[in-house]
Structure 1
Amino acid sequence: MILVLLSPRNAGLPFAEWLGEEAGRLLAVTARGVDPGPGFQAVETVADYFDDTAVREAARRLCERYAVTRVLALAEVDVERAAALREEFALPGQRPESARAYRDKVRMKELAAAGGIRVPAFAPADSPADVLAFMAAHPGPVVVKPRGGSGSTGVAVLDTPDDLPAVADRIRAGDHEVEEFVAGRFFHVDALHAGGGPVVSVPSLYTDGGCLSHWTDSGNGSWTLEREDPLHRRLVDETWRLVAALPAAPALFVHAEFFVTDADEIVLCEIAGRVGGTPIPAMLEAVLGLDPRHLWARIECGLPVDLDAVRAHAHAAPLVANFGLPPRNGRITRVPTGAPDGTRDFAVLAEVGEDWGGARYAGRKSGDFIATWLVTAAGEGELLALLAKTEADTEAAFGWDLVAAAVEEER
């Protein structure tokens, strides 16, 4: 039986369809009030899905009651939990040493640097004094982030020591990292390693601002690189060098991020041992021929996959761009009534009356979108022109009742 660690963000995924051979025999741990969908024989719920102890205890109860053969985790928060359960119950898949390297940004960079990967200067930060010492040794802007964070949550760019008080309490809470700010274009590479070797790698370039665009209420996305682009091969090679530098796992789906500086140097940002967040799965589905979460779920659960078909589809795919609009600080008064011309997989992820103001807005992640879509084209120029037009059309189709502070900022 397969145990699915089901983050609420992944509620609604068709696990019974993806894992058809096991439908009706699936097990799940999820948050209270979440419907896991059909196909599950038993479900354990927890009040707070971010409570590691509660989630692991619920998973253990299922492992002790049923003959669990695999543990499936699609969310960042579940990567280390799943690895610990595999270790405890002697199950196949990624183990804790490897999982930690793909989550802990300090350990990750230590191993990457030892493997010859260019990384920014970095250091653990357990107190504001650690950040001040780092800034004294490395003049210029720095980035402070949680060591195990995702979706750009908790990331702060400090231009000078005067900016430190705003994040001091967060740093004192522990488990943070500080690193030098790297200027340059921002890329991601989504890659699958299975069956003893690399299967497919998809390098893409983020739009301006990348995953920090939501800080300025700007949409963001990325587009796949042309195979003829010299950076295509360089980024693919660097990704596999990075994977080789980290502790191995029987199979991996990775989402790696790199900067390319004005001096044409590739510098690691970070790498995650999971499929990239929304709307990257939709873009990868257009490239690979099936949802990458579907692909990874079957591989992780030991079920057959036609990897040659995946390779062939990726080789023949057109250029694809994904894009998403972030929420504003207020309440939604109007949503699009149809898909803008030129889009595919257009999805409105919000409704009239939904309130994104206040604390919810302050805690938004880079993957929180009110609408997402794809565009495809034969060449980069055509692709980017279509992306810009569809962004403008979608933005205009939404209406907002902004909170007073947001209205003043716009003025």
Structure 2
Amino acid sequence: MNYLILNRSALAIRPYREWMGDGHRLLLITDARALSADDEIRGGQLASFDATVPLVDYHDSVLVEREALRLHAEFGFDEIIALSEFDLLRAARLRDLLGLRGQNEESAIAFRDKLVMKDLLREAGVPLAPYAPAADATSLIRFTQEHGFPIVVKPRRGGGSMGIEILHDEDELWNYATRTTQLGTDDGAPLLVEAHVEHELFHIDGLVVDGHIQLIWPSTQGTTTCLGMLDGHMLHSTMLDADDPRLDDLRKLTTTALETLPTPTTTIFHAEIFGTPDGLVFNEIASRMAGGRIEEQIRLGFGLHLPKLYIRALAGHELPRIPSEPARIGGLALFPPRPGLLRAVPGECRVPGISSFTVSVAAGTRLGTAHASVDNFASALAVGSTRAEVEQAISRLRTWVEAETVIEPETEPQTATGGTTA
């Protein structure tokens, strides 16, 4: 079989040839930044593919499509593999154009476009917060007249919490509308507005193979939020215990969403559900692996690597037995940057229960604000026998990181870095 791979992640953590094995022709179009800066390592990475096209302007360049069509004319690939949120639609459109199997454009849009997704879920009776398209300022006003404040405005096809804002009153609404010039155009803005609900956020991650759910497990972010990351507050996540009373309802609601949407026959999924005082409210679901070290969190718990399983399933390999519940509880913590000069960073981590701690920037770096919910200057993985045990370890870690980190506020605006995007 011949496979075209569209790639954005560091190839050091995406060894496609190793995962897929020999006997396949692998063609790669990749963001050039995914390659090692070391010449020898980079050469080895590229040598594992039968043809490679590194692109400096990968994210929004039509060179991806042009090179894909050129490679297809030369090699005639049978499938397209795309792991990134922002490659799902372009891969689906190429499949439709070339008559290839896999996720088509209808399916990709249902998982990428939050308005399309919510319309389909609402028709199936899935509980949702009130929502509406927000193409113009009058749509926002009309929504607040019906549902009041606060409201949440978000891109219909966004990711990583980028571009999401909570508006608490009319002054904030008009300030937002003034900054968002598309709201005043004839074409309108590709936005969605929702009623804000107080919640505990659960994320449910798993794998579907040949139309059957092979793995599905919820985690909780507790009192931390993705939007809180954008304001400089730590985010953590912990897998639920096997005896958690919320487990079955979270899995059932996620399964209903997968059955409602045009879910690919084989896919990874990442769902988000709000736990509110009035019950569970579905937020959204994606047909890809989550970011922010969640794949490592799941690996700690189950001993399985979801992207590897997914790739091997696409390549026709028999998968190992997937347990119905984790052997251990995995957790993670992300520490977002705050604007200022990073004077001191934590050293070696000796906090019990923390299995991995990484600082991604050096002292002396000027930090900016986080732009996405996975941006961080430090991150950690934790593991234990129960959720309470893992959350205690993360709490001790937070105290230690905050004591060891010194960020000196800037007196004048500086060009800054936001840290690492996981």
Instruction: Give the TM-score normalised by the residue count of structure 1.
Output: 0.90
1:281 to 288, 291, 295: 295
Deviation at 1:23, TM superposition (A): 8.8
Cα distance change on mapping 1:147 and 1:22 into 2, 3 Å? farther
Letter in 1 for 2:304: L
2:148 to 104, 129, 139: 139
- Kept after mapping to 2: 8 A contact 1:330/1:355: yes
- Kept after mapping to 1: 8 A contact 2:207/2:306: no
* Alignment root-mean-square deviation, CA: 2.2
- Kept after mapping to 2: 8 A contact 1:347/1:371: yes
Cα distance change on mapping 1:18 and 1:100 into 2, 3 Å? farther
For 1:99-110, list aligned pairs within 5 A: 99-110=108-119
Distance in 2 (CA, whole Å) between partners of 1:122 and 1:147 is 11
Structure 2: 5+ residue runs without aligned partners?
Answer: 37-44, 414-422
Letter in 2 for 1:370: F
Structure 1: 5+ residue runs without aligned partners?
Answer: 407-411
- Kept after mapping to 2: 8 A contact 1:46/1:58: no
1:259 to 244, 267, 274: 274
Q: Residue 278 of structure 1 aligns to a residue in which SS?
A: coil
After superposition, what is the alpha-carbon deviation per residue over 1:248-276, rounded to whole angstroms, capped at 9, x for unaligned? 3111211000111112x111111111111
Distance in 1 (CA, whole Å) between partners of 2:249 and 2:371 is 33
- Kept after mapping to 2: 8 A contact 1:118/1:268: yes
- The farther-off stretch of 174-183 and 158-167 is 158-167
Cα distance change on mapping 1:136 and 1:347 into 2, 3 Å? same
Letter in 2 for 1:129: T
Distance in 1 (CA, whole Å) between partners of 2:18 and 2:195 is 42
Deviation at 1:324, TM superposition (A): 1.0
Letter in 1 for 2:26: L
- Kept after mapping to 2: 8 A contact 1:340/1:393: no
- Kept after mapping to 1: 8 A contact 2:4/2:27: yes
Distance in 2 (CA, whole Å) between partners of 1:356 and 1:62 is 41
Distance in 1 (CA, whole Å) between partners of 2:318 and 2:361 is 34
For 1:173-322, list aligned pairs within 5 A: 174-263=189-278, 265-299=279-313, 301-308=314-321, 310=322, 312=323, 315-322=325-332
Distance in 1 (CA, whole Å) between partners of 2:247 and 2:349 is 31
Aligned to 1:409: none
- Kept after mapping to 2: 8 A contact 1:16/1:24: no
Aligned to 1:19: 19
- Kept after mapping to 2: 8 A contact 1:10/1:75: no
Aligned to 2:376: 369
Cα distance change on mapping 1:295 and 1:351 into 2, 3 Å? farther
Deviation at 1:316, TM superposition (A): 4.4
Letter in 2 for 1:403: E
Aligned to 2:98: 89
Deviation at 1:319, TM superposition (A): 1.8
Aligned to 1:127: 136
Q: Residue 154 of structure 1 aligns to a residue in which SS?
A: coil
Deviation at 1:20, TM superposition (A): 4.5
Pairing 1:352–2:363 present: yes
Distance in 1 (CA, whole Å) between partners of 2:125 and 2:152 is 22
After superposition, what is the alpha-carbon deviation per residue over 1:328-362, rounded to whole angstroms, capped at 9, x for unaligned? 112333333312322113222222333323xxx2x
Deviation at 1:215, TM superposition (A): 2.7
- Kept after mapping to 2: 8 A contact 1:340/1:390: no
Distance in 2 (CA, whole Å) between partners of 1:339 and 1:125 is 46
Q: Residue 309 of structure 2 aligns to a residue in which SS?
A: helix
Letter in 2 for 1:340: R
After superposition, what is the alpha-carbon deviation per residue over 1:300-321, rounded to whole angstroms, capped at 9, x for unaligned? x32314242x2x2x52412221
Aligned to 2:416: none
Cα distance change on mapping 1:355 and 1:5 into 2, 3 Å? farther
1:166 to 172, 175, 197: 175
- Kept after mapping to 1: 8 A contact 2:153/2:191: yes
Deviation at 1:103, TM superposition (A): 0.6
Letter in 2 for 1:393: W
After superposition, what is the alpha-carbon deviation per residue over 1:381-408, rounded to whole angstroms, capped at 9, x for unaligned? 32221110012212333332332379xx
Cα distance change on mapping 1:398 and 1:243 into 2, 3 Å? same
For 1:15-94, list aligned pairs within 5 A: 15-16=15-16, 18-22=18-22, 25-32=25-32, 34-35=34-35, 37-38=45-46, 39-51=48-60, 53-94=62-103
Q: Residue 358 of structure 2 aligns to a residue in which SS?
A: strand
Cα distance change on mapping 1:55 and 1:356 into 2, 3 Å? farther
Letter in 2 for 1:213: G
Cα distance change on mapping 1:329 and 1:158 into 2, 3 Å? same
Q: Residue 397 of structure 2 aligns to a residue in which SS?
A: helix
- Kept after mapping to 1: 8 A contact 2:312/2:319: no
Cα distance change on mapping 1:207 and 1:260 into 2, 3 Å? closer
Instruction: Give the TM-score normalised by the residue count of structure 2.
Output: 0.88
Aligned to 1:385: 392
Cα distance change on mapping 1:159 and 1:280 into 2, 3 Å? same
Cα distance change on mapping 1:50 and 1:161 into 2, 3 Å? farther
Cα distance change on mapping 1:387 and 1:273 into 2, 3 Å? same
Q: Residue 208 of structure 2 aligns to a residue in which SS?
A: strand
Aligned to 1:331: 341
